[in-house]
Amino acid sequence: EKGGYEHFMLKEIHEQPRSIMDTMRGRLLVEEDIIQMAGIWDYQEKFLNAERIIIISCGTSWHAGLVGEYLIEDLARIPVEVEYASEFRYRNPIITDKDIVIAISQSGETADSIAALKLAKEKGAFIYGICNVIDSSIARLTDAGSYTHAGPEIGVASTKAFTAQLALLAMIALKLAKHKGTISKERFNSLIIELETIPERVAEVIKNTESQIKKIAELYAGAGNFLYLGRGYNYPIALEGALKLKEISYIHAEGYPAAEMKHGPIALIDENMPVVVIAPKKGYYDKIVSNIQEINSRKGKVIAIVTQGDTVVKDMVTESIEIPDVSEYFTPILSVIPLQLLAYYIAVLRDVNVDQPRNLAKSVTVE
């Protein structure tokens, strides 16, 4: 049932071109120049008049929520807050009937997310679910929702559900932006054309980087710590890369927004500290370049994720992994792939149970 792969996690990493495509199928209609999502369309008024969107989730789904915040604020200009379900529910949050609360959950069974949603519903918010498991508790509890169609995810470390969540959030943000009129018709059209090509780009990333990453994993499998840095859209990916590594390889790893390095974590950098820097040639590229200089001058070992054809960062670092050049909105879907593979190959070398890491369950149904 692992389809020839040694672990479910590796199979699921490789399934991503397909699972992203399945999530977009029937929704992203480039010929008609529309994004069709009944869950959003049926409640258009609510979405277009929402004063705020609150995204609640846990773990990897929370990281997807953070990318969703950037996408929805940037494209559709609706204020978004992203909350850990467990914090939100216990802190007497301010919620009104002008709020939309979106829960993101692969399993749809995460106890803290369910409790947070129930609370939001009691306070009058419209509640929306983004789940992978059909007919799960969250899917049934919510007023409306959209499924990610990633297919069953068996590995405890979430991979294909995450990229499906990112693709779905991109579609929601673009659809809302179109109806709100916060992006031009031309921009909408060129972005949906590009989004449709993302599954192929993901396939390229896997094909072009897997053997290189295996070698990098050999160099760093013995490390005691890792830092992951990213900015903007790729800050949540730094968090996700670190989470993948810690949960399956048991190496301590921290993700940080790159600019925060100087406020503390820089003190940790020496020749024994591998630092994964997500540095696509987008947004704040120059700032990332100076972060890399700072790491270099302290002899940290940089593994950089760069845009194909990059020369500046490439010349500065020992390892650089290339991803195709796409709009910044979609870079997280590509930049996370090498980080999933890196965590996977390091875990394999450390001979641990990749699909069933110690102390973890696939769905966390306890509070």
Q: How far is the CB of 227 from ligand M6R (least distance, A)?
A: 19
Considering the complex, state which of residue 201 and residue 244 has its C-beta at the smaller distance from ligand M6R. 244
Q: Smallest gap, in angstroms, from Cβ of residue 261 to ligand M6R?
A: 24
Rounded to 10 degrees, the C-alpha dihedral 165/48/144/366 comes to 60
Point out the catalytic residue in the list 214, 281, 314, 362.
362
Strands (E), 196-236: 225-230
Give me the least distance between CB of 335 and ligand M6R, in Å please: 17
Q: Looking at beta carbons, which residue is closest to ligand M6R? A: 59
Closest CA to 253 of 361, 343, 313: 343
CB of 161 to ligand M6R, least distance (A): 7
CA distances from 74 to 42, 176, 181 (A): 23, 11, 13
Both tokens assigned to 47? 């979405």
- Alpha carbons 172 and 72: distance in angstroms, whole number: 8
Pairwise CA distance, residues 45 & 185, whole Å: 20
Strand order in 252-257's β-sheet?
252-257, 225-230, 274-279, 301-307, 319-323
Bridge partners (DSSP) of residue 28 are 35
Beta carbon of residue 244, minimum distance to ligand M6R (angstroms, whole number): 6
Minimum distance from CB of 288 to ligand M6R (Å)? Answer: 25
What is the binding site for ligand M6R (CB under 6 A)? 58-61, 105-107, 110, 113, 156-158, 243, 247, 360, 363-364
Question: Is 25:125 a contact under the CB 8 Å cutoff?
Answer: no
Q: What is the largest CA-CA distance in the chain?
A: 56
Q: How far is CA 18 from CA 13, 56, 152, 197, 261, in A?
A: 10, 27, 13, 12, 36
Q: What CA–CA distances, in Å, run from 311 to 228, 257, 307?
A: 21, 23, 9
Report the residue number, 95 or 157, with the smaller CB distance to ligand M6R: 157
In the complex, the smallest distance separating the C-beta of residue 140 from ligand M6R, rounded to whole angstroms, is 15
**Residue 89 or 282 with smaller CB distance to ligand M6R:** 89
- Residue with smaller CB distance to ligand M6R, 12 or 310: 12
Question: Which residues, in sequence order, are bridge partners of residue 229?
Answer: 256, 277
C-alpha to C-alpha distance for 337 and 61, rounded to whole angstroms? 16
Q: What is the bridge-based pairing of β-strands 28-29 and 34-35?
A: antiparallel
86 or 291: CB nearest ligand M6R? 86
Q: 166 or 288: whose CB is closer to ligand M6R?
A: 166
Active-site residue flag, 362: yes
Closer to ligand M6R by Cβ: residue 16 or 158: 158
Q: Which residues are catalytic?
A: 362
